[in-house]
Amino acid sequence: MHACRNCRMILSGEKTCPNCQGTDLSEKFTGEVIVLDLEKSEIAKLALVNAPGRFALKVK
């Protein structure tokens, strides 16, 4: 698994992030949050997540 350094989306096998189209990926990330509903998720607002999906809390 990789995480996008731009938006922190966790990817499994893709070489380009479907969220931001970034290609700067890292295998080193910590924490994970899964966002299902952006409008109702307080965690998504705090983590500055702008799309539903799996996101790393920190990407190295």
Q: CA-CA-CA-CA torsion for 33, 10, 54, 31, nearest 10 degrees? A: -10
Question: Where does residue 4 rank: exposed (0-12), middle (13-18), buried (19+ CB within 10 A)?
Answer: buried
Which parts of the chain register pLDDT below 70? none
The pLDDT assigned to 9 comes to: 98
- Spatial separation of the C-alpha atoms in residues 39 and 15, rounded to whole Å: 28
Q: Which fold has domain 2-59?
A: Rubrerythrin, domain 2 (2.20.28)
